[in-house]
Amino acid sequence: LVGTIDNGISAVAWSPDDEMITLVSCRYEVTLLTRSFDLVAETSMSSEDLSLSRGVSVGWGKRETQFEGKGVKGMRDPTMPEYVDTGVTSVQESYATTVSWRGDSQYFAVSTHRQKDNRRAIRVYSRELSLDSISEATDGLEAPLAWRPSGNVICSIKRSNSELIVAFFERNGLRHGEFDLLLDPSCPIQSLAWNFSSTILAVHLERSVQLWTVSNYKWQLKMEVSLLSGDRIRSVSWDNSDDRLILAGTSSIEVHEFAFTITSGPLSMPHDIGLVAVLNGRKIALTPLKIANVPPPMCFRHIDVSETPKSVGISNDNKRICVLAGSSLFLYNWTPDTAKSAAPVLAASSELKLEGRLVTACFLENSIAVLSENVTGSTVSFYSAELLFTHSIEPPARLSQLYSSNTALVAIDVNNAVYLLHAEATVFPPPRTVLPSVPIWVGEHAGQVFALTKSGRLYADETQIGKQVTSACVSYPYIVVTNMRNMLKFAPLSDPQSLPADDSSDERCRAVETGAKLVTIIPSKTAVVLQMPRGNLETIFPRLLVIAEIRRCIDAKNYSQAWRLSLVNRVDLNFLYDYNPALFLENVDAVIAAVGSGENIDILMASLNDENTAATKFRDTITTSNQELPLIHENKQNIVCEAILKSLTTTYASDPNYSLSVLTAYLSMKPPKVETALALVSKKFGDQLDEAVQHLCFLQDVNVLYDFALGLYDLPLTLLIAQKSTKDPKEYVPFLQGLEQMSELRRKYQIDDFLKRYSKALASLVKIDSAFNEVCDYIVLHELYQDGLKLLGADKDKVRRVQHLYADFLYAKKDFALAGITYEMLHEYNSAVQSYKSKGLWREALAVASKASYSADELRVLAADLASLLTESHQYSDSATVYKDYLNDYENSILMFCKAYQFSDALRVAAAYDKESIARDGIADGYRHIAEFISECKAQYESQTRRLEELRKKKEQDPLAFYEGDEADGPDNVSVASESTRSIYTRYTGLTSQTAGTDATRRTSKNRRREERKRARGKKGSVYEEEYLINSLGRLFARVEDTRKDVDSLIEALVRVAEVDKAQKIQKLMVELVSVLNTRTSDL
């Protein structure tokens, strides 16, 4: 015994966190205790409490606060209702006391009727037992009390002579809405109870419990539950952590578990009208969302029944609706074809003689299945279309759920075993699968069962295919889900495990509004209907459904529907061609007819580009194919435009609606055929000339059109286009008038010169008599020598003059070889010699000098100059030939052969002219040069490889120190900080890692050149040193390889002059160097 309450206890309640307990005595004393029954505080109720709260209700949303027009009623204060409640006692007042805590355990409410107060009042106390507020006076207020766990309202019962309502109060005691229970005003209400998620309000009647939910601010009665035994229900409570309703009767306790489900018609074509049934007490709301997208809580049509329905079923053709209400089964016929379809008509009804409680009814092909349960188990009974009993099946275990699919019934027992029942079944088949937990949604296709559990796990048979799923439905050929990340996903029924990731960017995944859940899918309309948490509907058109329907239309050659879908859903019009190019080109006439107007044809052609949308943005992610589609369609614009152009000029040639589309076809090609379009306008658009020009100006830059029209020498058309532009008439009018006054050739010349078509201008100028000097000046001005030579081919004198101008031009351009050839062709040998000499072409220069009758001394001077030039340019072999053949200078010839490492020629000339000592000296110089070269290469190799090994060892031991190096010579694009660092500034970028990615776009060409110079310099200690060393060694290897032929020639010469020791020595040094390089190449 912990303690006693002397005056007796009238009400008691634990707080939701189980930390506090509230006791109310029969003398209206409130006591607050801890979980260990230690006293926290206590207080007494008094009549003075009624004056605590004096809030004013402005009656938001009530009829009396709405505008009623001008006049006396319009002038009434809307905050003062016509009738003010005074707290009149209900005719069924029980004088009971009730307590209800708020979900966060910070406040609790106490409803009492004290005789001293003369009315029932709801007092709100804090956790410290201080009185926070008291409810306003309300007529007919009764004892049932329930504070919504989310905390926004307190609900109680208000009874009058005409209605029985649930009234809502705010924490401050003011009224905050109500709804009618649709019961007889004399019906007693035992209690009220909220589920833990604040989504369902249970109204406890004597022998049943009503479950109410709110959607779009409309309260709806969804279900009425009674005990299986039919006994009086003594108490009702909800599980504290789950939507399980506990019913306690006289001899039994039942636990019911609920889930929100959607009652809808078929979700696959051709009967996908999006029919949805919504239960609201004795009213069943029906809305075919494809025909009439009526927002809830309104509906398209409704059915009224005499009792609260237990279940509603819709047939596979949407024409029959079965309703299970009370102990009767009703069948309605309906034809929801148009927006004017009448309400469903009752076709048959039957009082079911089934034992126990009726649970659900649904269609299976032409029959109706009814699930009933009793104390011993469950029964599935089948009825014909006339509601005549046919047979029944006893399941091996009690069934908890029964769903209808296209070809079978899906039954689930209390052990979560799933059964598939077909129309011909007379006994229960073996379980199809066993689910790991109780499902809240079940779907079926081709014998495969899909189930969604309360934890958000989605299963295909026993295999989990998704998690964090909030809703799902099966619509052939997809399974569609929404998840907690607010994503709508599609997966093929053939491979349900291929649900895309949340970050997928393809057509199988798209974002939706927070908390959205699936209502239905209408594939023929490419629509998905979602319901938001508040209750409003949103219809979206996922790209996957739209593109799939467009593909189907194209395959069926229904280009009219494909075009409409593409326009309405803003699909790239390239897809009409990209999906099946061959089919499009074969049916161009049908495409033009389907598009329906020239304007639409223009839109189609103007939107063309080379991207293959069937392989990029609209890639088919459902149909598996190993064929790799090209990312671009080469020359697509020209192919499509030419096909359309051919059709327009043949099949539709006589249709004036497509005349302007011909111009669009020309201008949509790549490149645009502007000249062809302008020529067509000039020839065939007499009466429509102004309209055609306006159309061209819309498709193409008016300045471009002006230039092309001028290039056609059509001055009237040019003037018309200029008038459509922003050009100054003071400029183009005098210009065109001046052209009009010129002769035809002079006008063409001026126009082509204005348009910078210099070759065409020269062609017109050449034809003008007495204008050769002007022709020459024009050729020189615009460097049109080749064109001039072609145009003047018949007149040799004029050609010779132009050739001379051309030779001078080439010489000035330092194209000495071609200039020399041209001068030689013109017999201007002196100029030719100078040209060849400048180029170093000694053979040509000496040959032409002979034609120019040079004297022996002049020829010798020329040869000496050429030999000097060849020596300076390291052409030692050619220089040696000139010294020998033209200057008879055998000593310099031998030395030049030795410098060229052509020792065989040097020895040959030395032997012929007794100059062996000179040859020996040249060979000795070559020996010294090669020896020094090998020594330098070896030293460079050893030094650089040693340094390279040091750098690599340093990089391996301390990468950060390796890359830091000298700050002044660091790279401009390397950050040594981690990419995950968000705030650190790096030495090399001067940017945070968040902005380092934009460094490439900000770097100027000056910075790049500076970095290239640093890289080429390879300063010691910089981060570029390793790269520089590797490149330097690479160049060293190439130099050694290039020198091997010279070394071979030198060794042969040393042997021939009896310097065998030197030959062996140089050979040994070279072999050692090559061996070292070959050995270490792979390591480097």
What are 495-540's pLDDT values in tens digits? 888 888 887 677 788 899 999 999 999 998 999 999 998 889 999 9
CB atoms under 10 Å from CB of 304, counted, come to 9
CB atoms under 10 Å from CB of 403, counted, come to 20
User: Which tokens in the block code for residue 974?
Assistant: 């390397």
**Which position has the higher pLDDT, 292 or 985?**
292
The SS3 of residue 274 is coil
Identify any residues that bridge with 39 across adjacent strands, giving them in sequence order. 33
> Largest alpha-carbon pair distance within the chain?
152
Average pLDDT along the chain: 85
Question: Which segment of 125-139, 327-341, 449-463, 939-953 scores lowest on mean pLDDT?
Answer: 939-953
Query: What pLDDT does 995 receive?
Result: 44
> Residue 149: CB partners within 8 Å, gap ≥ 6?
16, 102, 103, 194, 196, 197, 198
Identify any residues that bridge with 404 across adjacent strands, giving them in sequence order. 409
Instruction: Give the C-alpha separation, 933 to 942, whole Å.
Output: 14
> Residue 489: CB partners within 8 Å, gap ≥ 6?
466, 480, 481, 482, 483, 499, 500, 508, 509
Tens of pLDDT, residues 160-204: 988 999 999 999 999 989 999 989 999 999 999 999 889 999 999
The pTM of the whole model exceeds 0.85: no
Query: What pLDDT does 20 receive?
Result: 94
Instruction: Give the C-alpha separation, 666 to 663, whole Å.
Output: 5
Query: What pLDDT does 1013 receive?
Result: 61
Query: What pLDDT does 700 receive?
Result: 87
- pLDDT over 80 (residue 626): no
Query: What pLDDT does 490 receive?
Result: 92
Q: What is the DSSP string of 802-850?
A: HHHHHHHHHHHTT-HHHHHHHHHHTT-HHHHHHHHHHHT-HHHHHHHHH
Instruction: Give the C-alpha separation, 513 to 518, whole Å.
Output: 12
Question: Which segment of 79-88, 382-391, 648-657, 926-935 scores lowest on mean pLDDT?
Answer: 79-88
Instruction: Give the C-alpha separation, 552 to 620, whole Å.
Output: 12
Query: What pLDDT does 1056 receive?
Result: 81
Instruction: Give the C-alpha separation, 777 to 781, whole Å.
Output: 6
> What one-letter code names the amino acid at 983?
S
User: Which tokens in the block code for residue 991?
Assistant: 């940017």
Query: What pLDDT does 17 receive?
Result: 92
Contacts of the segment 954-960: beta carbons below 8 A, 24+ positions apart:
955/1026
Query: Is residue 765 a contact partner of residue 778, using CB atoms and an 8 Å limit?
Result: yes
Identify any residues that bridge with 483 across adjacent strands, giving them in sequence order. 469
Please report which confidence band the pLDDT of residue 221 belongs to, taking 50, 70 and 90 as the band edges: very high
Query: What pLDDT does 284 receive?
Result: 94
CA distances for 327 relative to 187, 394, 804, angstroms: 21, 20, 116
Query: Is residue 202 a contact partner of residue 210, using CB atoms and an 8 Å limit?
Result: yes
Instruction: Give the C-alpha separation, 708 to 713, whole Å.
Output: 9
Strands laid side by side in the 275-280 sheet: 263-264, 275-280, 283-288, 301-304
- pLDDT over 70 (residue 69): no
| Closest alpha carbon to 595 in 670, 672, 648 | 648
Instruction: Give the C-alpha separation, 111 to 104, whole Å.
Output: 19
Identify any residues that bridge with 158 across adjacent strands, giving them in sequence order. 141, 165
Query: What pLDDT does 984 receive?
Result: 33
| Over residues 968-973, mean pLDDT | 46
Please report which confidence band the pLDDT of residue 654 belongs to, taking 50, 70 and 90 as the band edges: confident
CA distances for 58 relative to 63, 65, 80, 87, angstroms: 12, 8, 8, 19
| Separate counts of helices (H) and strands (E) for the chain | 31, 46
Query: Is residue 102 a contact partner of residue 147, using CB atoms and an 8 Å limit?
Result: yes
Instruction: Give the C-alpha separation, 46 to 55, whole Å.
Output: 19
- pLDDT over 60 (residue 983): no
| Over residues 750-756, mean pLDDT | 88
User: Which tokens in the block code for residue 4?
Assistant: 């006693």
**CA end-to-end span of the chain, whole Å?**
92
Please report which confidence band the pLDDT of residue 728 belongs to, taking 50, 70 and 90 as the band edges: confident
Query: Is residue 35 a contact partner of residue 21, using CB atoms and an 8 Å limit?
Result: yes
Instruction: Give the C-alpha separation, 610 to 80, whole Å.
Output: 71
The SS3 of residue 432 is coil
The SS3 of residue 358 is strand
- pLDDT over 70 (residue 70): no
> Residue 10: CB partners within 8 Å, gap ≥ 6?
24, 25, 26, 28, 96, 97
**Which position has the higher pLDDT, 403 or 83?**
403
Query: What pLDDT does 888 receive?
Result: 82
Instruction: Give the C-alpha separation, 945 to 146, whole Å.
Output: 87
Q: φ and ψ at 861, to 5 degrees?
A: -60, -45
Instruction: Give the C-alpha separation, 579 to 617, whole Å.
Output: 12
Omega of the bond leading into 297 within 30 degrees of 0 (cis)? yes
> What one-letter code names the amino acid at 85?
D
Tens of pLDDT, residues 829-873: 888 888 888 888 888 888 888 888 788 888 888 888 888 888 888
- pLDDT over 70 (residue 970): no
Strands laid side by side in the 399-404 sheet: 399-404, 409-413, 417-421, 433-434
Query: What pLDDT does 981 receive?
Result: 37
| Over residues 406-411, mean pLDDT | 87
Highest-scoring range by mean pLDDT, 28-37, 424-433, 720-729: 28-37
- pLDDT over 50 (residue 1002): no
| Closest alpha carbon to 476 in 539, 407, 537, 418 | 407
Q: Which residues of 150-168 are buried (b: 16+ CB within 10 A; e: fewer)?
A: eeebbbbbbbeeeebbbbb
Residue the block writes with tokens 């790096």: 986
Exposed/middle/buried for residue 517 (C-beta within 10 Å: 0-12, 13-18, 19+): middle
Instruction: Give the C-alpha separation, 383 to 296, whole Å.
Output: 33
